[in-house]
Chain A
Amino acid sequence: MLAFARDIAGRRELLWLLVQRNIKIRYKSSVLGFLWSLMTPLLMIAIYAVFAGIMKWNMGRRDFLEFLVVGVVVWQFLATCVNDSLHAITGNSNLIKKTAFPRVIIPLAQVLANLANFLLTVVVLVGFLLVMKRSFHDVLYLPVVILTQTALCLGLALFISALNVFIKDTEHILGVALMAWFFLSPVFYAAQFQLDRIPAGQEWLVFLNPMTGLICAYRSIFMAEALPGLGLVALSAVMSWLILLLGLAVFQKWQIRFADEL
């Protein structure tokens, strides 16, 4: 852990350049460029609004559109991090095989680039929620929640980018696993929906999924939704940080063989 921190601190400039590179490349040679970071979430909100309106899909809530948009935006951050990480190492085989630098910087730079994009999306989201006259709640916790989700994303990114070097099936497993995870997480339903269907005393099982607690926390901040219980949300947070530690440990152990396998 300490070794990682030292490695990264020593190569701040490389990390920063790679983050910039990842952001630049995303919108390179598109006419609207960086505006897409703002346009995409706006268009997404519009599509959900039209679709949910036509289908009368509201899960019995008047604020279903806001509820859904918060869930989807938060989920998107995780999903892009996970998908990008797949080829973080294998897609940079040139660099890995020919030069020496702390490998952890590549997945970290991708997650940070996605974080920057997510923060812009959050700005759009806040604007949208203000238009919908939602009230915010405990906004001071937002940085902590975002940091925790970033830890989760980084842990997964490290694990997946390293795994894909050794097992090519990772790509296929990942697609299915991500979809299952999506339906297990309270993105288009409330966590309460799951809690209602689980025997009393075993609610914690639901919050072993770090995304459950995270989405609940975001909704509590953005929509003043009641938290299912601080202990349960804390469990999700602990899971997120554990996944980061696990990802770091795996990456640390395997990185020495990256150049041999690529």
Chain B
Amino acid sequence: MPTQPAIVVDSVSKTFRLRGGGTRTLKAAALDALLARRSVRHFEALTDVSFAVPKGETLGIIGANGAGKSTLLGLVAGAMAPTRGAIRTDGTISSLLELGAGFHPDLSGRENVFLYGAVIGITRKKMRVRYAAILEFAGIGEYIDQPVKRYSSGMYARLAFAVAVEVDPDVLLIDEVLAVGDAAFQRKCLQKMRDFRRQGKTMLMVSHDLATIQSVSDRILLLDGGRVVGLGGPESVVNAYRSLAGRQGADGLAREWGAGEARIASVEFFNDRGEPATTFEWGGGLAARIRYEASRRIEKPVFGFALSDSAGRLIYGSNTQIEGFAIPWIEGQGTLRLRIPKLVMANGSYLLSFSLHSEDHRTNYHRLDHRFPIAVVGAKGFEGPCHMPCEWRAG
């Protein structure tokens, strides 16, 4: 059924004018005018971006900080105008670009709900119809008549999310808003987004949470330095981004150091089917092939690995010494294999580190900290960072 796309972005570029200290003072403006000089510098946030989103599609947008993701959403929302190119949208757009944009702290939750509806162009009549659903999803009860400044940040986030999704827009824009709120709230939001998708609504979603975005998107757009560098199926684009981020240093956490007499030349990852992978099924295995080279003979070396969450917090680490896998010596090139038979972490993005050091841990020959991003998807529901087998029984 060929229909008109919900969003068409056609050769869009966006240039911002940068000035020394933000807004110009009169003195600076007068001096510039007098000396006929232009003190403005230009920064191109988006360069020649084109794509179309068919109705009913969920498009994820990923990219490093500063890649232009939020600018793109701002343009689609119509808050900003493109410098070049054109954007066409079809239907009402509700944007969750910032939780509670437009909420006034002194107004009650109820008043803010109606105000937000008016801001995005929903008639009051329609808002009255949706109001009960908003109230129910937000779950803040009688607090709805209190000024929102008295709300906890969780209540505030719930109300803002509830309004944005329950006003029943044709297109929903979401910018990294799921980072707030507790796990229960995030689950509720994700459920809502799935419902939304099932109703054939169009969504544009920006997130750094690669596992989530991969699981909810039909396609993913990868931005790098303001340009589209990938657009396609979630898994392939997320993998492309991981390798891009890996090259660029996994968002700043990655570090490579060591004495250098021996080094880890490469690490490759494979799934249970033996295919190269960076996204792994929960409960499945991960295999790594580590190639090393040593410029001299090194006695009793120790290879280690560590698994950290995306913020760099250590979750688990082990090495050949702990596991009792003794390596008498290495010299020249060689290969070592590591296998983790069952990944039990919660869904999410993780960073793997590898190290090669001496038996007494005094000499670090080579360390690759947080150097290899991977993701785990498809975990069964549980609370906390990793799964623990448990059994329930009656009686």
B-binding residues in A (CB < 8 A)? 11, 13-14, 17-18, 21, 24-25, 28-29, 92, 94-101, 165-169, 173, 256, 259-261
Contacts and interface: CB of A to CB of B under 8 A. Distances in A.
A96 B25 contact: no
Given A97-B74, A169-B25, A28 B79 contact: no
B80 interface: yes
Given A13-B124, A25-B106, A99-B79, A167 B101 contact: no
B25 A168 contact: yes
A96 B23 contact: no
A25 B95 contact: no
Interface stretch (B111-119, B137-145, B381-389): B111-119
A167 B119 CA distance: 27
Interface in B8-29: 16-17, 23-27, 29
The listed residue with most B CB atoms (<10 A of its CB), out of A21, A98, A259, A260, is: A98
Given A25-B107, A99-B95, A167-B29, A260 B16 contact: yes
Contacts of A17: 114-115, 118
Given A167-B26, A260-B16, A98 B106 contact: no
B77 A169 contact: no
Given A98-B77, A98-B79, A260 B17 contact: yes
Contacts of A261: 23
Given A95-B102, A165-B23, 20 more contacts: A11-B121, A14-B118, A14-B121, A17-B118, A21-B104, A94-B98, A97-B74, A97-B79, A97-B80, A98-B79, A99-B119, A99-B120, A100-B77, A100-B78, A101-B121, A166-B24, A167-B23, A169-B27, A259-B79, A261-B23
A97 B175 CA distance: 13
A94 B101 contact: yes
A113 to B, nearest CB: 13
B81 interface: yes
Contact of B119 (A101, A166, A173, A256): A101
7 contacts: A21-B115, A24-B111, A98-B95, A98-B97, A100-B79, A101-B121, A166-B24
A95 B119 contact: yes
A261 B23 CA distance: 7
B344 interface: no
A168 B115 contact: no
Interface string B307-331: 0000000000000000000000000
Contact of B106 (A29, A92, A169): A29
Interface in B114-164: 114-115, 118-121, 123-124, 147
